[in-house]
Amino acid sequence: MRRIGRAVSVGLRRSLPMAMAMAIGSLMLLDFFFDEAHINALGGFFLESTVIIVAFALLLGLLNVLTVHLRRIIKREGGWIYSIALVSIALIVIIAGIPGPESAGVTWIFDHIQFPLQAATFSLLAFFVATAAYRGLRVRSLEALAFVLTAVIVLIGQVPVGRYLGEFVPALKDWILNVPSTAGVRGIIIGVALGTIATGVRVLMGFDRPYTSERDSTQ
Amino acid sequence: MCDTPHPAGITECTQCGARLLPLGVSPSEVPLEPLRPAEQSTPSREDEGAVVEESDLGEGEIGEDVGVAEKVGDGTGPPWLRKLEATPVGGLAEEAAGAEKLERGELPDWLELPPDFDEMLSEAALIADEEGVAAAQIPPWLEALRPEPEEGVEEPAQAAGPTEAAGLLRGIRGTLGIEPILAISRRSVPVEPVAPSTAAQERAELFGAVVREPARPGVMIAQRRRVETLAASSARWMMYLILAAAAVVPILLGSRWSETNMTVTGGTTAMYEAIEGLPQGAVVLVSHDYDPGVAGEMIPQARVVLNHLLERGAQVISVSLTPEGARLSRRVLDEVGASHGYAEGEGYQTLGYVVGVEAGPRAVVEALATAGWSDLVGGAEDIALIVEFAGAPEYLRLWLEQVQGPYGIPMVAGVSATADPFARPYYRNEASRQLMGLMTGLVGAAEYELLSGEAGPALAGMDSQSVVHVAIVLLILVGNVAYFGGRLRGRKSG
């Protein structure tokens, strides 16, 4: 009896998620291509459910982060001082956000702490790009020469200085961006789309089961 | 081998009894001589002479085989074995000694099969059949060959050959002799003294002085490394200062040179015309999908476009697929709305952050009517235009795939400079017109401000951006000059 129960449990653990994924995935695909009332209604329901589930997944992620760092603090593992900072700041922001996302506390924290810090960190990239350009953009070969010339033309053509030097500079920049650059990116986009389609078909047909645990997916 | 020198003509070593060959003669050219017979008493390892048994052919035999041979001599073996025993060992050795040298490919007589070999085989088979030997049963004649352990362990027979008298193998018999030419001791030839020249003597003395000098490389290397590090960090700091000056100085000077020298690209013009062509009261869905990292170029875009939309009297519904975008857009909306005398809900509506990645944009459009998120919209068909501000290309792709494609709603986009290459294929798609207009970075915002006729922070930052771009190009050129200069110097010195 126990063996039967275990077999049923294992079967459900493997088969039920796969069946649900295949059924709902197929339904959403049909909803995308067909305009039928019942299918649209079901599709809308699952769409809204997705939004709710993702929101709860964010909450779950937050709880996981807090748990991991609390454990690190309790066990005095490496970097536990930083874990104290993370946990305390997270709790402060959570408590400040209890009245709502537009509350004064959250707004102040965002405007005076998060926004300046994030903007300043990203602004450092400009200096790193400049030093990388100084060191990396060396004409060691013909390909490097083409690369450097392209970079110089686009950098100059992008700003009003390029037009000041001559009308051909912004025209050349536009040609570089509209023709070879667009052609290359189009190929990448098509490749990514084909890969996405293949992955979706594999998930719909049950060959890939990203929603199961490692133990179930290998059995 | 005892390495004892002998005069010419001696064929056997007087010390160890090894066979001596003349120089230049290979042992294979000289036939083996029969070894001297062993003494009657049990030979010991201390014997220097070669002790050979009558049945010994120069190969080491174990005592069991000797016992077996003795037993076989009793006449209990099969006939074919008795025939082999009849052949004396000494006779075989004499035959070998007197054998003629073989031609190439010719086999010696003893290796050839005897003429009555088949007869011997058949006799053996007959005997096996007569005795009725079953499979895996040992025939009696073979059993007779089994040694009898109850008679006590017999001493193994002495191995043939001389006993080694020296070296690691001292006292062991039956070792293979080495080539005599290898055993010849060589005397060292004294080297003639060389008188070094004066220059060589001086160099040798200098070398000796340098070697004797106590080595102190650590200090010198550390000093050299400090200089190199200082030079590298100085160059790096110079570049940082140049860039900072290029960014800050035009702003401090309040330069407006770009306003008079700026051109407007086709993408920005198309976006302006798309918004300019909206009817009064049109519902426009605006999505702010950027974070503070790219806010420097996205907020000017959002500000100028929202200003244009509210000027056209459009009803703006603002959402965001990023939590930071929701807060940043709120600031811009409040600021622009206040400048037009609108409060929230009057000219614009903020729905905030929408989760769900791919499901988010679709859920927004479908739920606008069904969930009653907005009184302005009865369905997707009521949305006149979608304006997407994408800090990263994936947000633009989400809106294109989930909303623009299925519902066919016209869409324009303002993207960051890094997202422009990924957005351009959608704008250049003239067949399906996925994007009707495309604005890129701070330059796009400045162009839009130029088209709107209202100079703002984007145009003010154009001079600074121009100088920074020129500075980066100059750094690239200086880097290449330094690189080629270094290569030329290397070639000249090499």
- C-beta of residue B78 within 8 angstroms of C-beta of residue B129: no
Strand partners, B285: B317, B386
Query: Do residues B89 and B233 share a domain?
Result: no
Q: Is residue B315 part of a domain?
A: yes
Of the residues B480, B483, B484, the best mutation for testing chain A's interface (the one with the most A CB atoms within 10 Å of its CB) is: B480
Range A133-163 burial, b when 16+ CB lie within 10 A, else e: bbbebbbeeeeeeeebeeebbbbbbbbbbbb
Q: Is A120 on the interface with B (CB under 8 A)?
A: no
Mean pLDDT value of segment B112-138: 68
Q: A68 vs chain B: nearest CA distance in angstroms? A: 23
From the number of C-beta atoms within 10 Å of its C-beta (0-12, 13-18, 19+), residue B183 rates as middle
Q: Tell me which residue range forms the domain holding B231.
A: 219-253+462-494
∠ CA B206-B208-B211, rounded to 5°: 110
Q: B476 vs chain A: nearest CA distance in angstroms? A: 5
Q: What is the mean pLDDT of chain B?
A: 78
Return the closest-CA partner of residue B412 out of B401, B425, B396: B396
Residues of B in contact with A58 (CB under 8 A): 355
Last residue of a domain, one of B130, B156, B183: B183
Of the residues A158, A164, A173, the best mutation for testing chain B's interface (the one with the most B CB atoms within 10 Å of its CB) is: A158
Q: Is A141 on the interface with B (CB under 8 A)?
A: no
Query: Residue B37 carries which DSSP code?
Result: B
Query: Do residues B225 and B245 share a domain?
Result: yes
Question: Do B421 and A119 count as a contact with CB atoms less than 8 A apart?
Answer: no
Query: Do residues B271 and B172 share a domain?
Result: no
Strand partners, B437: B412
Question: Do B243 and A48 count as a contact with CB atoms less than 8 A apart?
Answer: no
Q: Is A194 on the interface with B (CB under 8 A)?
A: no
From the number of C-beta atoms within 10 Å of its C-beta (0-12, 13-18, 19+), residue B486 rates as exposed
Question: Dihedral sign, CA of A11, A16, A18, A23?
Answer: positive
**Range picked from A23-27, B67-71, B443-447 for highest mean pLDDT:** B443-447
Q: Is B334 on the interface with A (CB under 8 A)?
A: no
| pLDDT grade for B62, boundaries at 50, 70 and 90 | very low
pLDDT tens-digit series, residues B454-491: 888 899 899 999 999 999 999 999 999 988 888 888 87
| C-alpha torsion angle, residues A188, A190, A195, A200 (rounded to 10) | 140
**Range picked from A25-39, B86-100, B168-182 for highest mean pLDDT:** A25-39
Distant-in-sequence, close-in-space partners of B5: CB < 8 Å, separation ≥ 6: B185
* Number of domains comprising chain B: 3
Query: Do residues B271 and B249 share a domain?
Result: no
Percent of chain B with pLDDT over 70: 74
For residue A131, report the phi and psi dihedrals to the nearest 5 degrees: -65, -35
- The pLDDT, as a whole number, for residue A41 is 87
Question: Do B462 and A178 count as a contact with CB atoms less than 8 A apart?
Answer: no
Mean pLDDT value of segment B330-357: 85
Range A27-39 burial, b when 16+ CB lie within 10 A, else e: ebeebeeeeeeeb
Nearest chain A residue to B428 by CA: give it.
A178
Query: Residue B318 carries which DSSP code?
Result: E
Q: Is residue B46 part of a domain?
A: yes
Prediction pTM value: 0.65
Q: A74 vs chain B: nearest CA distance in angstroms? A: 31
DSSP element (H, E) containing B252:
helix B217-253
- The pLDDT, as a whole number, for residue B68 is 42
> Strands B411-415 and B383-390, how do they pair?
parallel
Q: Chain B, 387-406: which have a CB under 8 Å from a chain A CB?
A: 406
Query: Do residues B224 and B88 share a domain?
Result: no
Domain boundaries, chain A: 137-207
∠ CA B21-B25-B30, rounded to 5°: 70
Q: Is A135 on the interface with B (CB under 8 A)?
A: yes
DSSP B76-101: IS-HHHHHHHHS-HHHHHHHHHHPPP
- The pLDDT, as a whole number, for residue B263 is 84
Q: Give the nearest partner residue to B295 out of A119, A126, A159, using CB atoms.
A: A119
Query: Do residues B138 and B229 share a domain?
Result: no
- The pLDDT, as a whole number, for residue B188 is 80
Strand order in the sheet with B283-289: B348-353, B315-320, B283-289, B383-390, B411-415, B437-440
- C-beta of residue B422 within 8 angstroms of C-beta of residue A138: no
Query: Do residues B395 and B487 share a domain?
Result: no
Residues of B in contact with A42 (CB under 8 A): none
The C-alpha atoms of residue A98 and residue A49 are separated, in whole angstroms, by 24
ipTM confidence: 0.84
Distant-in-sequence, close-in-space partners of B402: CB < 8 Å, separation ≥ 6: B358, B359, B361, B362
Residues of A in contact with B466 (CB under 8 A): 159-161
Distant-in-sequence, close-in-space partners of A65: CB < 8 Å, separation ≥ 6: A86, A90
Q: A20 vs chain B: nearest CA distance in angstroms? A: 18
Q: A201 vs chain B: nearest CA distance in angstroms? A: 17
Mean pLDDT value of segment A17-32: 86
Question: Do A118 and B263 count as a contact with CB atoms less than 8 A apart?
Answer: no
The distance of Cα B403 from the centroid of its chain, to the nearest Å, equals 46
Query: The CATH number of the domain where B437 resides is what?
Result: 3.40.50.620
Residues of B in contact with A122 (CB under 8 A): 292-294
Q: Is B367 on the interface with A (CB under 8 A)?
A: yes
Query: Do residues B275 and B423 share a domain?
Result: yes
> Strands B411-415 and B437-440, how do they pair?
parallel
Q: Does pLDDT of B12 surpass 70? A: yes
| Tokens encoding B470 | 């020129």
> Strands B283-289 and B437-440, how do they pair?
unpaired
Question: Do B462 and A181 count as a contact with CB atoms less than 8 A apart?
Answer: no
∠ CA B487-B488-B494, rounded to 5°: 90
Query: Do residues B179 and B313 share a domain?
Result: no
Last residue of a domain, one of B133, B164, B183: B183
Note the helical H segments in chain A.
Answer: 2-33, 37-75, 80-96, 104-109, 115-136, 142-157, 160-165, 168-176, 182-204, 214-218
Query: Do residues B469 and B449 share a domain?
Result: no
Query: Do residues B223 and B156 share a domain?
Result: no
Range with lowest mean pLDDT among B32-46, B116-130, B225-239: B32-46
Q: Give the nearest partner residue to B356 out of A50, A129, A156, using CB atoms.
A: A50
| Tokens encoding B276 | 């300019």
Query: Do residues B325 and B349 share a domain?
Result: yes
Q: Is B322 on the interface with A (CB under 8 A)?
A: no
- C-beta of residue B54 within 8 angstroms of C-beta of residue B47: no
Q: Is residue B204 part of a domain?
A: no
Identity at B148, one-letter amino acid code = E
Question: Do B480 and A138 count as a contact with CB atoms less than 8 A apart?
Answer: yes
| pLDDT grade for B256, boundaries at 50, 70 and 90 | confident
